[in-house]
A and B are shown apart, each in its own frame.
Chain A
Amino acid sequence: MGHNLLARRGWLGRCAAISMAVLLVTACGGSAASPSSGPITLHALFMKQAAYSEQDVKAMTDAFTAANPNVTVVPEYVAYDALHDKIVTDQVGGSGQYDIVLMDAIWPAEFAQAGIVTDITSKIPAEFKKGVFESAWTAANYQGKTYGVPWINDSKFFLFNKKMLADAGITAPPKTWDEVVTDAKAIKDKGLAKFPMVGSWKQAEAVICDWVQLAAAFGMTEFVDADGKALFNTGGGLKALQFMKKLLDDGLMNPASLGFNEDDVNATVSAGQAAMALNWTYGYAVMNDAKQSKVAGQVDVVGSPGQGDVATSGVNGGMALAVTKGSKHPDEALAYALSIASQKSQELNTTLAFPMWTASFDNPELTKSNPSFWAAAKTQFSGLVARPVVPYYTKLSNALQVAIQEALQGKVTPEEALNGVAAKLPDLQK
């Protein structure tokens, strides 16, 4: 409701902007003012949890405002669950207050089509094009154009309890999903864990992330073709779902995973009840934190296993900073985004998030904290895969979540589940 109201606000906003502009021009005696000469306030919308803390953002912002004393940045933080709705409700009608918003990897298509974010393809400096992992841009691209500056880089890593693996006689962490199955069986047979694996397979975005990561390992490169036809119901997408079902059927995956989110995965591994899991970067710190984990110090990490020709795969869980269409200071907003996404800024604090600059991974000062994790991340970040890049992503994701759960519960076969969503695609695109 209230779209007229929003439109009216947009109209009022434009009137106000025009009168302000007229006032400015008359005040300057007709001479055009340079856009950044007067004091400017930028409103930025960030996410509360994960990756950078509010202190980190403040430090990054301070560096920018020190160099641009006429700009004040007002950051605002909301929970991830509120971020998408906050951006949409604020920006629809083009009258939002935010100049810069944090955009999840699954939103560029939707936001670009709704005219919420600005195309910055031509304004990206060469050093960003060269220095940032190529696959990190998939978090900000739609139809060949770039709508944001990658800022948070994340993917799901393979975390394992090295003590349990050693107790089961396993000498090296698995490199393929076939090896994962073999190792899980060994752990189960030794009675080290009733369910050696755990996953965040709740009816939520979490299950899509795991499925996409597996689908990529099983050879899927695109989910929907250029004509909007489904590709996910054959090949890697189908193999991944069959693989997930088999893990459950063989008792290798904890059946409670169907109700688990990422925090539950951390809790299960931390309680010593599972030996192997996929999770985001932060999981490694949680599982090794003596305050929260019974197995602190035992959990190690490697790049996500591959299968066949695919060496590794990682779902792109990155987020980008996008300049809104409604921003009155788009140039300053972009300058701010580029500043806090710069290599220097990203290297300020690498405890909770990896930088997205390739050079950072060769900097021994940074990697010495945990060389194996940095090495794993470097491999995985070069092979990130995006979740389906379509403007109707939310609807597609919801349909896939239900279908995947139905298949995992054994209500339908994996083929039937995915074919069902494929058949519904024309409806979802409406």
Chain B
Amino acid sequence: MDAPVRARISRARTRPWPETWVAAAFIAPAAIVIVLVVLVPLARAAWMSLFDIALIRPGDEPFVGLGNYIDQLTSPDFWAAVWRSLYFTIASTSLELLLGLALALLMDQPLRGRWLLRTLIILPWALPTIVNALMWRWIDNAEYGALNALLTQLGLLDDYKVWLSNSDLAMWMVIIADVWKMTPLVAILILAALQSVDRELVEVAKVDGASSLQAFQRIVLPLLTPVILIVLVLRTMEAFKVFDIIWIMTGGGPANSTQTIAIYAYQTAFQGYDFGAGAALGYLIALIIMALAAVYLRLLGRTGRV
């Protein structure tokens, strides 16, 4: 090392940056990126939601205040889409939770080949959503899909059903596809919690005369509650803003029967070019999800204190 370099280093050593400056310097790149790609668009969208902006009508963008929000909140189409999203969310999340819990309990048993079972179970979750959606669209195809073939060959169905073209069935078909994909994640999360449960507690309860079911109900389940709530929060927020799987499988049809709120917002903004209303819808969706999350977090806080 030559002398000038050494001199520079020692100068740097003698006059170090204040710690907060160093911290700020480290954080700055990430902070700048976040401001540019998250905060600026968020603020811009909030601003846009106050105007009547249609892409196809450049230059004519009157200020409408909360008009876009009021239009949406008084529109039957908006509430129908909210209701469909809730339906999808409640159905898929509860099924995923029940099946996930069952799978977790199964994987927790000291079975032979348990590692294989765990690997197989996680596979659906490893598939990209688009692939999963395309796969289920094929399975559900009325003419050459595997589902019709299977059910008719088993004698459970006399006639081919048009799963995705029937407005009473289509929503359930996307729910099934979503449950198939997301249950493994729920199972793995619950399994992790299960494995941290102290087995001795269960053994002690059994010695005291409790049945396996009672031991599960009174001891294991309460210990799992925090993780179950976390799973519920995650899945509810995800499911409420579901878009990709439905868009690929049904495009929101037939007769809008699978048009969830995210699809409604997309169609408003990017098919109707009504960007003001689209921005307002984005904020309304965010508000609903935040409200749902707040409810769960309150519940979570309460159980945390138990």
Residues of A within 8 A of B (CB): 1, 3, 6-7, 85, 88-89, 92-94, 110, 113-115, 202-204, 254-260, 267-268, 271, 273, 391, 394-395, 398, 401-402, 405-406, 408-409, 411
Interface centre among A92, A110, A203 (most CB of B within 10 A): A203
Within 8 A of A (CB), among B242-265: 250-256
Closest to A116 in B: B56
When distances are taken between beta carbons in the complex, the residues of chain A under 8 Å from B272 are 394-395, 398
Structural contact, B61 and A405, CB atoms closer than 8 A: no
B214 near A: Cβ within 8 Å?
Answer: no
The 6 closest A-B pairs by CB, nearest first: A203-B253, A259-B165, A256-B142, A405-B255, A258-B165, A406-B255
Structural contact, A110 and B271, CB atoms closer than 8 A: no
Q: Is chain A's binding surface mostly helix, strand, loop or mixed? A: helix
Structural contact, B56 and A398, CB atoms closer than 8 A: no
When distances are taken between beta carbons in the complex, the residues of chain B under 8 Å from A271 are 143-144
A115 to B59, CA, bound (A): 11
When distances are taken between beta carbons in the complex, the residues of chain B under 8 Å from A94 are 58
B44 near A: Cβ within 8 Å?
Answer: yes
Q: Is chain B's binding surface mostly helix, strand, loop or mixed? A: loop
Q: Give min CB distance, A199 to chain B, whole Å.
A: 11
Closest to B269 in A: A1
Structural contact, A92 and B56, CB atoms closer than 8 A: yes
A342 to B45, CA, bound (A): 47
Structural contact, B61 and A88, CB atoms closer than 8 A: no
Q: List 28 A-B contacts (CB under 8 A).
A: A3-B53, A92-B56, A93-B58, A94-B58, A202-B165, A202-B251, A202-B253, A202-B254, A203-B251, A203-B252, A203-B255, A203-B256, A254-B142, A255-B142, A255-B166, A256-B143, A259-B165, A267-B143, A271-B144, A273-B143, A395-B272, A398-B267, A398-B271, A405-B167, A405-B255, A405-B256, A409-B167, A411-B167
Q: Given A7-B59, A88-B56, 19 other A-B contacts at CB below 8 A?
A: A1-B44, A7-B58, A88-B55, A92-B58, A114-B58, A202-B251, A202-B254, A255-B142, A256-B142, A257-B165, A258-B166, A259-B250, A260-B165, A271-B143, A394-B273, A405-B256, A406-B255, A409-B254, A409-B255
A273 to B160, CA, bound (A): 13
B275 near A: Cβ within 8 Å?
Answer: yes
Structural contact, A256 and B58, CB atoms closer than 8 A: no
A406 to B167, CA, bound (A): 8
When distances are taken between beta carbons in the complex, the residues of chain B under 8 Å from A402 are 253, 255-256
A110 to B279, CA, bound (A): 22
A398 to B58, CA, bound (A): 22
B164 near A: Cβ within 8 Å?
Answer: yes
Structural contact, A259 and B58, CB atoms closer than 8 A: no
B305 near A: Cβ within 8 Å?
Answer: no
B57 near A: Cβ within 8 Å?
Answer: yes
B147 near A: Cβ within 8 Å?
Answer: no
B82 near A: Cβ within 8 Å?
Answer: no
Q: Give min CB distance, B55 to chain A, whole Å.
A: 6
When distances are taken between beta carbons in the complex, the residues of chain A under 8 Å from B253 are 202-204, 259, 401-402, 405
